Amino acid sequence: MERTFAIIKPDAVARRLAGRILQRIEDEGLVIRAMHMRHLTRREAEGFYAVHRERPFFGSLTAYMASGPCIALALEAPAAIATWRAVMGATDPAKAEAGTIRREFGESIERNATHGSDGPETATFELGYFFPGIDFAR
Protein backbone atom coordinates (compact mmCIF):
# COMPACT_ATOMS: atom_id res chain seq x y z
CA MET A 1 0.00 0.00 0.00
CA GLU A 2 1.09 3.54 -0.72
CA ARG A 3 0.10 6.69 1.14
CA THR A 4 -0.29 10.17 -0.18
CA PHE A 5 -1.40 13.55 1.08
CA ALA A 6 -4.31 15.59 -0.24
CA ILE A 7 -5.94 18.90 0.56
CA ILE A 8 -9.42 20.09 -0.26
CA LYS A 9 -8.49 23.75 -0.69
CA PRO A 10 -10.26 26.79 0.79
CA ASP A 11 -12.12 27.59 -2.45
CA ALA A 12 -13.73 24.14 -2.56
CA VAL A 13 -14.58 24.18 1.16
CA ALA A 14 -16.14 27.65 0.83
CA ARG A 15 -18.25 26.50 -2.13
CA ARG A 16 -19.45 23.47 -0.13
CA LEU A 17 -17.83 20.92 -2.44
CA ALA A 18 -16.01 18.90 0.24
CA GLY A 19 -18.63 16.16 0.44
CA ARG A 20 -18.61 15.61 -3.31
CA ILE A 21 -14.81 15.51 -3.40
CA LEU A 22 -14.66 13.09 -0.45
CA GLN A 23 -17.18 10.84 -2.18
CA ARG A 24 -15.07 10.91 -5.33
CA ILE A 25 -11.96 9.94 -3.33
CA GLU A 26 -13.75 6.90 -1.93
CA ASP A 27 -15.35 6.02 -5.27
CA GLU A 28 -11.87 5.90 -6.83
CA GLY A 29 -10.75 3.29 -4.28
CA LEU A 30 -8.64 5.59 -2.14
CA VAL A 31 -8.99 4.95 1.60
CA ILE A 32 -9.06 7.95 3.94
CA ARG A 33 -6.66 7.08 6.77
CA ALA A 34 -6.77 10.50 8.49
CA MET A 35 -8.64 13.74 7.95
CA HIS A 36 -9.04 17.08 9.64
CA MET A 37 -10.26 20.55 8.83
CA ARG A 38 -8.10 23.48 9.76
CA HIS A 39 -7.63 27.12 8.94
CA LEU A 40 -3.94 27.59 8.20
CA THR A 41 -2.10 30.64 9.44
CA ARG A 42 0.01 32.48 6.89
CA ARG A 43 3.13 31.11 8.61
CA GLU A 44 1.82 27.52 8.36
CA ALA A 45 1.02 27.99 4.67
CA GLU A 46 4.50 29.43 4.09
CA GLY A 47 6.08 26.43 5.83
CA PHE A 48 4.03 23.99 3.81
CA TYR A 49 4.87 25.67 0.48
CA ALA A 50 8.49 26.53 1.42
CA VAL A 51 9.80 24.78 -1.72
CA HIS A 52 8.09 27.53 -3.75
CA ARG A 53 9.45 30.44 -1.66
CA GLU A 54 11.42 31.92 -4.59
CA ARG A 55 8.58 31.60 -7.09
CA PRO A 56 6.59 34.71 -8.06
CA PHE A 57 3.29 33.11 -6.97
CA PHE A 58 4.46 32.26 -3.42
CA GLY A 59 2.86 35.29 -1.76
CA SER A 60 -0.52 34.94 -3.40
CA LEU A 61 -0.55 31.16 -2.91
CA THR A 62 0.19 31.32 0.80
CA ALA A 63 -2.29 34.18 1.32
CA TYR A 64 -4.95 32.16 -0.47
CA MET A 65 -4.22 28.98 1.51
CA ALA A 66 -4.57 30.99 4.73
CA SER A 67 -7.82 32.63 3.55
CA GLY A 68 -10.19 29.97 4.89
CA PRO A 69 -10.47 26.43 6.16
CA CYS A 70 -9.11 23.50 4.20
CA ILE A 71 -9.38 19.76 4.72
CA ALA A 72 -6.17 17.76 5.03
CA LEU A 73 -6.28 14.06 4.14
CA ALA A 74 -4.02 11.05 4.36
CA LEU A 75 -5.01 8.68 1.57
CA GLU A 76 -3.98 5.07 1.01
CA ALA A 77 -4.23 2.64 -1.91
CA PRO A 78 -1.95 0.76 -4.25
CA ALA A 79 -0.39 3.53 -6.38
CA ALA A 80 -2.16 6.17 -4.26
CA ILE A 81 -0.01 9.04 -5.52
CA ALA A 82 -0.61 8.37 -9.21
CA THR A 83 -4.27 7.56 -8.63
CA TRP A 84 -4.99 10.77 -6.72
CA ARG A 85 -3.08 12.89 -9.23
CA ALA A 86 -5.07 11.36 -12.09
CA VAL A 87 -8.36 11.95 -10.26
CA MET A 88 -7.41 15.60 -9.56
CA GLY A 89 -6.31 16.38 -13.11
CA ALA A 90 -3.91 19.04 -14.36
CA THR A 91 -3.09 22.01 -12.12
CA ASP A 92 -4.77 24.40 -14.58
CA PRO A 93 -8.48 23.46 -14.64
CA ALA A 94 -8.72 24.67 -18.24
CA LYS A 95 -6.14 22.04 -19.23
CA ALA A 96 -7.47 19.25 -17.00
CA GLU A 97 -9.20 16.30 -18.62
CA ALA A 98 -12.97 16.03 -18.53
CA GLY A 99 -14.19 14.18 -15.47
CA THR A 100 -11.33 15.26 -13.21
CA ILE A 101 -11.93 17.16 -9.98
CA ARG A 102 -10.03 20.23 -11.09
CA ARG A 103 -11.85 20.39 -14.43
CA GLU A 104 -15.21 20.08 -12.68
CA PHE A 105 -14.58 22.28 -9.63
CA GLY A 106 -11.45 24.37 -10.28
CA GLU A 107 -11.73 28.07 -10.94
CA SER A 108 -8.09 28.91 -11.76
CA ILE A 109 -4.57 27.54 -11.42
CA GLU A 110 -4.46 28.73 -7.81
CA ARG A 111 -8.09 28.08 -6.91
CA ASN A 112 -8.15 24.59 -8.31
CA ALA A 113 -10.04 22.82 -5.48
CA THR A 114 -7.40 20.26 -4.49
CA HIS A 115 -3.75 19.55 -3.82
CA GLY A 116 -1.89 16.27 -3.96
CA SER A 117 1.65 15.09 -3.32
CA ASP A 118 3.73 14.72 -6.48
CA GLY A 119 5.95 11.87 -5.29
CA PRO A 120 6.87 9.63 -2.35
CA GLU A 121 9.31 12.09 -0.74
CA THR A 122 6.82 14.94 -0.99
CA ALA A 123 4.06 12.73 0.43
CA THR A 124 6.26 11.85 3.42
CA PHE A 125 6.98 15.53 4.11
CA GLU A 126 3.38 16.66 3.62
CA LEU A 127 1.86 13.87 5.73
CA GLY A 128 4.33 14.67 8.51
CA TYR A 129 3.58 18.39 8.25
CA PHE A 130 -0.17 17.97 8.66
CA PHE A 131 -0.30 14.76 10.71
CA PRO A 132 2.77 14.83 12.97
CA GLY A 133 3.23 11.80 15.17
CA ILE A 134 0.64 9.61 13.43
CA ASP A 135 1.84 6.11 12.62
CA PHE A 136 -0.06 5.16 9.47
CA ALA A 137 1.46 1.64 9.50
CA ARG A 138 -1.07 0.46 12.09
Residue numbers annotated as active site: 115
Instruction: Answer for the pair 66, 40: CB distance below 8 angstroms, yes or no.
Output: yes
Q: Give the amino acid at 59.
A: G
CB 69 within 8 A of CB 38: yes
Alpha carbon distances (Å) from 33 to 2, 4, 15? 11, 10, 24
> CA separation (Å) from 27 to 31, 53, 73, 82, 137?
9, 35, 15, 15, 23
